Amino acid sequence: MKSYRVGERLHDSLLQHLLLARGIAPAAHDAFLTPDFDRDSHDPFLLPDMGKAVERLLSAKKNNEKVAVWSDYDCDGIPGGVMLAQFLRTFGLDTAHYIPHRHKEGYGLNVEGIDELAGAGVKVIITVDLGTTDVEQITHANKKGVDVIVTDHHIVPSLEHLPDAFALINPKRPDSKYPFDGLCGAGVAWKLVQALLIKDRTVLGEGQEKWLLDLVGIATLSDMVPLVGENRMLAHSGLRVMRRGRRPGIAALLKLLRISAYTLTEDDVTFMLSPRINAASRMDRPQIAAELLAATDLVEAAERAATLNRINDERKGLVAATVKEVNKRVAESDLTKSPIIVMGNPNWRPGILGLVANSLVEAHGKAVFLWGREGGDELRGSCRSNGQVNMVELMGAARDVFGHFGGHSASGGFSVLEDKVHELGPRLSSAYDTVASKNAVAEEILVERVLDLAELSHAHQSLKKLAPFGVGNAKPLFMFPQVSVSGVRTFGKTQNHLGLTLTDGFVNAEAIAFFSTPESFSKKIVSGEKVDVVGHVEAGWREGARIRIVDIL
């Protein structure tokens, strides 16, 4: 059961209050509100193995060796890979960009891809957003005479179990001296760019590399890394570059989506751009998204944008159909009484199951495990928590059923052999109560401050200075007490979004909730009744601000 607690009033100024509530000391307020590229960038050579990596690439340039960037297929790896490959070509290196196929090759390095690159004469592979745990694959690359430079940000198991890479650049290494370990994969690759330019600035004029920050910004905003310190600067700078509209692919996608580049926000990136970039690997080839971001021709950019948008629409349809199928199976089974939903179908595409699981968690309030198959005997899937259980702990309690598993407290991925899949549901169900009891706490949500409707516009202006929002700098939640609902409407192609007109007798305000009905909240919405509205403040359809509804009390 959700409960809401209004935070202590720390300052009369809303902006100062929000900064203090985030634990930012008054002396650091100006620095937080005005991210600065030079001040907030740390020395890249504090990262482990950075010196070795730079010298190897300088040698490759001198000897005209071919290099390849091998990036992950998500919205961190693809922008990061395009960014690094684009820079290395400018730097004077013959550079290929390799992205594994999500369903045919899977995550990380693989032997077949390494053989293909070695056969093409590649002497150095630089990874983006992967490689830290690819021990066998990197050993294979070494045997092929290919040096591997890893740039990654994933957790390092231990120094004893690192792969024998030529260089392994990861701020999470226990021996790292880098002062910030929260960079995303593209952010780590960006530090390699900075380090190369420190050694050789002849290829680019001072500051020209900042035009690459649009791609680093997309990755930083999309990958759920903390938007503080250097990440806040990278996200802030990335948005500034994107607003200039210089990259044809991003400009074409924004035009197609009817989003103004000039007013682009982090929400536009994470809710509109990122899903389309991710859809490429979920539904088709990840190279389509890379080609969009790398495009220099306006016609090609428009074609790739249209293709990505179509693929994303197909992804939405497939997710909706799968959600419908699962809901039907849940209703026909005894899973309605279980705290966990475990289900699969060999015909389900693993790449979309995380999105399906998100919808099911919202609909049923249960932890969800879903599996599908792309080929072979191994089944792969995704899981999502309902907030009451740590998913990694839960999978760990049934570890012998899984081939592989990993993730975070709220979500994860796994594989399971076909001859063990029948054990998955019973084992997870039996482990659920034990694991969930360790994490059982009442969900209390902090409301930062109570606002009147008359303060809505001023609050929006203050929040602009605090943006971009994300992990580590959450979008503030406000309560608007005892306001009357003077109008209720639905909107959208299928009328599945909710719009309200609120009034306190003096001021009217608009409020919206996507994928919601009047029955979606703690209290049913009835026109004319007074309610407490909990929500975020954001830009409205036109001038001014509106409320994004979280709950009605």
Q: How confident is the model at residue 307 (pLDDT cuts 50, 70, 90)?
A: very high
Residue 364 has pLDDT above 90, yes or no: no
Average confidence score pLDDT of the chain: 92
Residue 370 has pLDDT above 90, yes or no: yes
Q: Encoding tokens for residue 205?
A: 């004029």
Task: Give φ, ψ of 511 to 5 degrees.
Answer: -140, 140
* Helix-, strand-, coil-residue percentages of the chain, each rounded to 5: 45, 20, 35
Q: How confident is the model at residue 373 (pLDDT cuts 50, 70, 90)?
A: confident
Residue 378 has pLDDT above 80, yes or no: no
Q: Encoding tokens for residue 14?
A: 């809303």
Q: Encoding tokens for residue 320?
A: 């909706």
Residue 406 has pLDDT above 70, yes or no: yes
183-190 average pLDDT score = 97
Q: How confident is the model at residue 438 (pLDDT cuts 50, 70, 90)?
A: low
Of 155-164, 220-229, 275-284, 471-480, minimum mean pLDDT range: 155-164
The residue ranking higher by pLDDT, 225 or 160, is 225
Q: How confident is the model at residue 1 (pLDDT cuts 50, 70, 90)?
A: low
pLDDT at 513: 93
Among 49-53, 421-425, 518-522, which range has the highest average pLDDT? 49-53
Dmax of the chain from CA atoms? 76
Q: Catalogue all structural domains in the chain, each as residue range(s) with its CATH number.
A: 3-33+445-552 (2.40.50.460), 38-214 (3.90.1640.30), 333-438 (3.10.310.30)
427-440 average pLDDT score = 80
Q: What is the pLDDT of residues 445-467, one digit of tens each?
A: 899 999 999 999 999 999 999 99
462-488 average pLDDT score = 94
Tokens 């080609």 -> residue: 291
The residue ranking higher by pLDDT, 330 or 72, is 72
Directed axis angle between helix 50-62 and helix 77-91, to 10°? Answer: 50
Where do runs of H (alpha helix) occur along 333-477? 353-364, 391-396, 421-438, 456-466
495-508 average pLDDT score = 92
Q: Is the pTM of this model over 0.75?
A: yes
Percent of the chain predicted with pLDDT > 90 = 77
Of 37-41, 443-447, 517-521, minimum mean pLDDT range: 443-447
Give the pairing of strands 478-491 and 530-539.
antiparallel
**Residue 346 CB contacts under 8 Å (≥ 6 apart), including other chains:** 372, 373, 379
317-342 average pLDDT score = 88
